[in-house]
């Protein structure tokens, strides 16, 4: 009785399966495509064969196991979703459309409604908010909005992606459509515009009421302790409202309700504008407001 112990650590490409060597077959097959991807397969077989026929059967079993492993590996690669160029292109266009809503859309809309002496102030506030939120989003905003917060994941994310750590060119992000992904960097930019426009909308309730320095301090605090938790609960996997079935792709909750309540509370706390009821406060340039409203309307397609 002869004992055959086969321990094979095989680096097998698809070419190896289609072009057997003389050790496994006497007839040579046509060579396969040399560009086919290689797959590593480790197989260990411990059998006892009493005859050469039994040994040959063992070899055939090993070949079958290798073929099955390669097929499973190929199936797994095919199953992994990859970003579609069309989806990615549209998300980039949508990102630009939302930026158009902020600069100059919101800025012109609010700027045309205030008195001429405050026009520059409103324009500067909106532009500064966009810049500040962009920095905060890259530093910690995206991480806390879409990270995995562990036991606190129902409320907020974590610091694992601060400064966009771990996000590379081939990183992908899931969408509301099952099996559809986009590049994560595109997702980061798209969500940044939502964060920026949410804070910018609050300017309408604070116009002609707040100092520029105080506004910037408010932006940092409100963005951190109001926007990020709401965005995580609604849009991040594991968030409280997300798990409850809330579907809010356009931001009705995260953007409009969130910023609207903040603007209302701000206007109430700060009180009436200086001179209200005594001085004329008619909008100084309604064409600017019309242009801003039109840009907002177009931007909503993003």
The neighbouring-strand residues paired with 25 are none
Is 30 in a helix, a strand, or coil? coil
Domain ranges of the chain: 2-79, 85-299
Q: In the chain, where does DSSP find H-type helix?
A: 14-18, 52-79, 85-100, 107-113, 119-136, 142-146, 184-201, 203-206, 212-222, 228-235, 240-243, 258-270, 286-299
Give pLDDT, residue 76. Answer: 55
Could you tell me if 66 and 41 are in contact, meaning their C-beta atoms sit under 8 angstroms apart? yes
CA angle 133/296/186 to nearest 5° reads: 50
Quick one: average pLDDT of 161-166?
Answer: 95
Give pLDDT, residue 177. Answer: 84
Quick one: average pLDDT of 269-278?
Answer: 84
Give pLDDT, residue 58. Answer: 67
- For residue 290, pLDDT beyond 60: yes
Give percent of the chain with pLDDT exceeding 90. Answer: 60
Give pLDDT, residue 273. Answer: 84
Residue 36's pLDDT band (boundaries 50, 70, 90)? very low
Residue 18's pLDDT band (boundaries 50, 70, 90)? very low
Contacts of 222 (CB under 8 A, 6+ apart): 199, 202, 262
Give pLDDT, residue 241. Answer: 95
Could you tell me if 101 and 251 are in contact, meaning their C-beta atoms sit under 8 angstroms apart? no
- For residue 82, pLDDT beyond 50: yes
Q: What is the DSSP string of 173-231?
A: EE-SSTT-EEEHHHHHHHHHHHHHHHHHHTHHHHTTTS-HHHHHHHHHHHIIIIIHHHH
Match 């969408």 to its residue by tokens.
Answer: 175
Residue 68's pLDDT band (boundaries 50, 70, 90)? confident
- For residue 77, pLDDT beyond 70: no
Most confident of 9-23, 100-114, 164-178: 100-114
Show the tokens assigned to 226.
């109001």
Using a 10 angstrom Cβ sphere, with 0-12 exposed, 13-18 middle and 19 or more buried, the burial of residue 217 is exposed
Q: Which tens digit of pLDDT belongs to each residue from 214-228? A: 999 999 999 999 999
Give pLDDT, residue 280. Answer: 77
Least confident window among 46-55, 75-84, 273-282:
46-55
> Which among 233, 248, 232 has a CA at the least distance from the CA of 146?
232
Least confident window among 17-21, 122-126, 234-238, 275-279:
17-21
Task: Report the topology of domain 85-299.
Answer: Ammonium transporter fold (1.10.3430)
Quick one: average pLDDT of 223-247?
Answer: 95
Give pLDDT, residue 15. Answer: 37
Quick one: average pLDDT of 152-164?
Answer: 96
- Average pLDDT score, the chain: 82
- For residue 195, pLDDT beyond 80: yes
- For residue 75, pLDDT beyond 50: yes
């Amino acid at each position: 009785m002869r004992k055959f112990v086969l321990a094979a650590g095989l680096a097998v490409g698809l070419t190896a399966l289609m072009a057997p060597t003389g050790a496994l077959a006497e007839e040579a097959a046509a060579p396969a495509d040399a560009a086919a991807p290689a797959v590593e397969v480790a197989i260990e077989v411990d059998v006892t064969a009493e005859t050469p026929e039994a040994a040959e059967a063992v070899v055939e079993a090993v070949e079958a196991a290798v073929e099955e492993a390669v097929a499973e590996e190929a199936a797994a690669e095919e199953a992994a979703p990859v970003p579609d160029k069309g989806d990615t292109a549209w998300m980039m266009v949508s990102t630009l459309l939302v930026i158009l809503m902020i600069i100059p859309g919101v800025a012109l809309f609010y700027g045309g409604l205030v008195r001429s002496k405050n026009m520059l102030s409103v324009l500067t506030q909106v532009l500064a908010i966009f810049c500040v939120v962009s920095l905060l989003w890259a530093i910690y905003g995206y991480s806390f909005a879409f990270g995995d917060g562990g036991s606190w994941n129902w409320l907020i994310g974590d610091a694992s992606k601060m400064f966009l750590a771990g996000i590379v060119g081939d990183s992908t992000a899931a969408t509301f459509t099952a099996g559809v992904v986009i590049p994560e960097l595109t997702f980061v930019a798209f969500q940044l515009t939502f964060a920026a426009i949410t804070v910018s909308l609050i300017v309408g309730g604070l116009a002609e009421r707040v100092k520029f320095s105080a506004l910037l301090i408010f932006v940092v605090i409100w963005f951190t302790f109001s926007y990020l938790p709401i965005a995580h609960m609604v849009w991040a996997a594991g968030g409280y409202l997300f798990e409850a079935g809330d579907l809010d792709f356009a931001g009705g909750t995260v953007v409009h309700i969130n910023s609207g309540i903040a603007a209302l509370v701000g206007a109430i706390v700060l009180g009436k504008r200086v001179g209200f009821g005594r001085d004329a406060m008619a909008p100084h340039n309604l064409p600017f407001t019309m242009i801003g409203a039109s840009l907002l309307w177009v931007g909503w397609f993003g």
